[in-house]
Structure 1
Amino acid sequence: MFSPEGPSLRELAVQALSSVERGYDLLAPKFDHTPFRTPDPVLDAVGSALRRTATFDAGLDLCCGTGAGVGVLAGLCRERVTGVDFSAGMLDVARRRAQPGGPPVSWVRADARALPFAPAFDLVVSFGAFGHFLPRELPGLFAQVRSVLRPGGCFAFPLVAPPRPGSLGYWMLLGFDTVMRVRNALWRPRFVMYYRAFRLDDVRRELTRAGFRVGLQPLPEFGRRQDGSPRVRLVVARLPGQPAPSPTVPAGRPGTVNS
Structure 2
Amino acid sequence: MFAPQGPTFRELAVQALSSVEHGYDLLAPKFDHTPFRTPQSVLTPVSQALLNLGPFESGLDLCCGTGAGVGVLRQVCRERVTGVDISAGMLAVGRDRERMTTTAPRIDWVRADARALPFGPVFDLVVSFGAFGHFLPEEQPGLFAQVHSVLRPGGRFVFPIGAPPRPGSPAYWALLAFDTAMRVRNALWRPPFVMYYRAFRLADVRAELIRTGFEVELHALPELGLRPDGSPRGRLVVATRAR
TM range (shorter): over 0.9
For the residues of structure 1 that align with 2:87 and 2:170, how far apart are their CA atoms? 32
Shift of 1:54: 2.1
Residue identity in the other structure for 2:28? A
Aligned partner of 1:65: which letter?
G
For 2:150, the aligned partner's letter is V
Q: Please give the alpha-carbon distance, in whole angstroms, between the structure 2 residues aligned to 1:227 and 1:25.
A: 41
Which residue of structure 2 lines up, in the alignment, with residue 207 of structure 1? 209
- Residue by residue over 1:38-83, the C-alpha shift from the partner in whole angstroms, topping out at 9 and shown as x without a partner, is 0011111101001111210000000000011101000000100000
Structure 2 equivalent of residue 228 of structure 1: 230
The C-alpha deviation readout for 1:108-157, integer Å capped at 9, x for no partner, is 00000000001000000000000000000000000000000000000000
Query: What residue is the counterpart of 1:111 in the other structure?
Result: 113
Cα distance in 2 for residues equivalent to 1:121 and 1:36:
27
Number of equivalences: 241
| Inter-partner Cα distance in structure 1 for 2:151 and 2:159 | 15
Higher relative contact order (CA 8 A, sep 6+): 1
Alignment of 1:38-117 (within 5 A): 38-98=38-98, 99-117=101-119
Partner of 1:248: none
Coordinate RMSD, CA, aligned: 0.5
Partner Cα distance (2:73, 2:30) in 1? 23
1:146-171 CA-to-partner distances (Å, cap 9, x unmatched) read 00000000000000111000000000
Cα shift readout 1:227-255 (whole Å, capped 9, x = no counterpart): 111100000000112xxxxxxxxxxxxxx
Q: How does 1:1-259 map to 2 (within 5 A)?
A: 1-98=1-98, 99-241=101-243
- 2: distance between equivalents of 1:54 and 1:74? 12
Structure 1 length-normalised TM? 0.92
Equivalents in 1 of 2:155, 2:147: separation in Å?
10
Q: In 2, distance between residues paired with 1:222 and 1:42?
A: 7
Tell me how far apart the structure 1 counterparts of residues 30 and 102 of structure 2 sit (CA, whole Å): 22
In the alignment, the residues of structure 2 paired with residue 228 and residue 210 of structure 1 have an alpha-carbon distance, to the nearest angstrom, of 31
Q: Which amino acid aligns with 1:95?
A: R
Q: Distance in 1 between matches of 2:231 and 2:117?
A: 35
Deviation at 1:19, TM superposition (A): 0.2
3-state SS of paired residue (1:52): helix
Shift of 1:191: 0.1
Residue type matched to 1:75 in 2?
Answer: Q
TM-score by length of 2: 0.98
Secondary structure at 1:233 match in 2? strand
Moved >6 Å (runs of 4+): none
* Structure 2 gap ranges (5+): none
Contact 1:75 1:102 in 2 (8 A): no
Structure richer in helix, relative to its length? 2
Question: Offset at 1:222?
Answer: 1.1
What is the percent sequence identity of the aligned residues? Answer: 73
* Aligned counterparts of 1:100 and 1:83: Cα–Cα separation in 2: 17
The letter of the residue matching 1:90 is M
Give per-residue Cα distances to partners, 1:188-225, cap 9 Å, x unaligned: 00000000000001100100000000000001111211
